[in-house]
Structure 1
Amino acid sequence: MPSNRRHFLKQLGGLAAGFGAASTGLSFINPLPADIQTNTHTSDTDSSAAPLFFTISLAQWSLHKKLWAKEMDNLDFPAVAKNTYGISVVEYVNQFFKDKAKDEKYLAELLKRCNDNGVKNHLIMCDGEGDLGDVDAKKRMQAVENHYKWVDAAKYLGCATIRVNAFGAGSYEEVQKAAIEGLAKLGEYAAKTGINVIVENHGSYTSNGQWLAGVMKGVKRKNVGTLPDFGNFCIKREGGQMWGTPCIEEYDRYKGVAEMMPFAKGVSAKAHDFDEQGNCIETDYVKMLKICKDAGFKGYMGIEYEGDKLSEEEGIRKTKALLERVGASIK
């Protein structure tokens, strides 16, 4: 056991017991709900809405402008999701509590606010912890170990899943092989506490649905899967940048989502702009939701509004209304 892992166990000392020698040795205030572990539908959205084949959750990135501007704190997120938008399942972004993964007091307060508001934690999106597809074995293993603390934090918070990045520099085959090894290793650790590890189409090779499906087939672990995002299909940008420059090569989003759905443990409902009828301009939600339903998906679909023309609040509401309207119409 690495020394940093022992340090974490010491920090969470009052929570120990019950997982057995093969586990991390922790017990948690809020046990992982059974309906989060699979794609089983639960009615956590507005009860007045028509029945859906999925459950709506709220991705924290939808509020990233308010969070970066300090107009909202990470601890406020559960209450805002429930009381402002009527959504009782949330998805965190580790960037907004980057130094708190091992902070027992902070995590306990966050969990208390969830419980006080009747909010269920679904996943933590993890960035900035290294590339799990790094072709350098030492760097890749460091990235794997960097994610251990988020696996433990996710378990403590009652999440089912962490979302990671499988980036790497090299050829298609080299990075794919490295990603398989990195994800398998992290998946092995996460399995000890029943946590899923999922990869989103997030740029470069990961936005190539065929490449990512190949990674999943190579990993061959039940707790390692995908988070299909309706956007994020740029596989090449000007200047070779990951972000911030125009996209010069894009993968077909419908093909990509279809290729990732067999491994999906969640879906990210991305939206930027809407027409006068409330339809998403850049993505055909009827077509996309049918792909999800045809794949047998019955899990959490996270609202991720990322547009600039509407306020974050209006964008979230429009995305929610679109999911409810279209989701109820899919046969």
Structure 2
Amino acid sequence: MKQFFSIAFTLIALILFNCKEEKEEEILEKEQKEIIKDGNNSSISIAQWSLHREIETGKLDPFDFPKVAKELGFEAVEWVDQLYAKEIDSMGFDAVIERWKEESEKHGVKNILIMVDRAGDLSHSDKAKRDEAVEMHKKYVDAAEYLGCHAIRVNTFGTFDADEWSETTYDGLKRLSEYASSKKISVLAENHGWFSSDPRLVIPVIERINLDNCGTLADFGNWCIKRTKDENWGDCAEEYPDKYEGFERLMTKAQAVSAKSYEFDANGNETTLDFEKFIQIIKKSGYDGYISVEYEHETLDERKGILATKALLLKHLKTN
């Protein structure tokens, strides 16, 4: 009998705990919806990477991105080419871009930029491969112009030697930016790992290039400047010492901003990043472009994570 009561008590406790969690989630979602309803959504876009799990598992057709963006209350989108690897290989690059245009027009969303991951490394230490990357990126510049975007985001991983990286990055970014200037498209280096996540190296290169259409995509996250192995991705051995100071540096050349988010508490605050501080830095910089929602974690359903990020952005944009 004692064992029966023990089991019963445990079951009741679990039910009450689950009800409490569901109640908190319902309250949080209601608060988020009110913030989103009352806020100004015009300056917030959505990065397609926020839906990468749905796309990679086949739950979502990648071409339905504008449709979902609209359903979630966004008026502007940022495309990610690596989520179309199969489609580009099977349909061809031009056909994929044409579908992007058709879908964005059908659902009435504005195309902001293309995040390019499948066109090589503009900082590669091998000049032949760097030349190839510059040429491959040109078709994305053309596509951005066709779609009405203002920029493409590029990768500058390069070598693991800082001095060499600065020279190869200068060469690759400058040549592509010179081409893109004729199309009125900006080329933006993101803090995306290794030396690209070190503003002490990135900003001097961009200042040396000295072209209006060469700048940064400043991301709230991505501050790993050294991996445990000499690979672009993997476990981090060292992070930039002060992400907020680093972000402030990146904002001096920013033409796009990515509000990366990971985990949230019961009050809707990001637990790993200080959104309020990031928004203060953005406002202080004078930046007046789009801020992109980029949810990247598995603790929430992707769409709930997107709305949580959006609500937190609007909250601080409104109050700061």
Q: TM-score, normalised by structure 2?
A: 0.84
CA distance in structure 1 between the aligned counterparts of 2:51 and 2:37, rounded to whole angstroms: 25
| Structure 2 counterparts to residues 200-279 of structure 1, below 5 A | 200-245=190-235, 247-251=236-240, 252-279=242-269
Aligned length: 282
**Partner of residue 15, structure 1:** none
**Partner of residue 62, structure 2:** 74
1:220-256 deviations in Å (ceiling 9; x for gaps)? 11111100100100111222332232x2210121011
Distance 1:105 1:62, change over 3 A: same
Cα displacement (A) at 1:81: 0.1
2:216 alignment partner AA = T
Which of 45, 50, 57 aligns to 2:39? It is 50
CA distance in structure 1 between the aligned counterparts of 2:99 and 2:224, rounded to whole angstroms: 38
Aligned-partner SS, 1:113: helix
CA RMSD of aligned residues (A): 1.8
1:249 alignment partner AA = E
1:68 alignment partner AA = E
**Partner of residue 129, structure 1:** 119
Whether 2:76 is the aligned partner of 1:89: answer yes
Higher helix share: 2
Whether 2:53 is the aligned partner of 1:65: answer yes
1:152-204 deviations in Å (ceiling 9; x for gaps)? 11111111111001111142111111101110100011111111110100000
Aligned-partner SS, 1:72: coil
Aligned-partner SS, 2:153: strand
2:192 alignment partner AA = H
Percent identical residues: 42
| Structure 2 counterparts to residues 1-331 of structure 1, below 5 A | 48-51=37-40, 55-83=43-71, 85-98=72-85, 99=88, 103-245=93-235, 247-251=236-240, 252-330=242-320
Distance 1:317 1:189, change over 3 A: same
C-alpha contact (below 8 Å) 1:229/1:270 kept by paired residues? yes
Aligned-partner SS, 2:255: coil
The runs of 5 or more residues in structure 1 that have no matched partner are 1-45
Distance 1:105 1:238, change over 3 A: closer
CA distance in structure 2 between the aligned counterparts of 1:107 and 1:138, rounded to whole angstroms: 27
CA distance in structure 2 between the aligned counterparts of 1:221 and 1:140, rounded to whole angstroms: 20
1:120 alignment partner AA = K
1:117 alignment partner AA = H
Aligned-partner SS, 2:38: coil
Q: TM-score, normalised by structure 1?
A: 0.81
1:112-134 deviations in Å (ceiling 9; x for gaps)? 22112110000110013222112
CA distance in structure 2 between the aligned counterparts of 1:55 and 1:258, rounded to whole angstroms: 20
CA distance in structure 2 between the aligned counterparts of 1:50 and 1:196, rounded to whole angstroms: 29
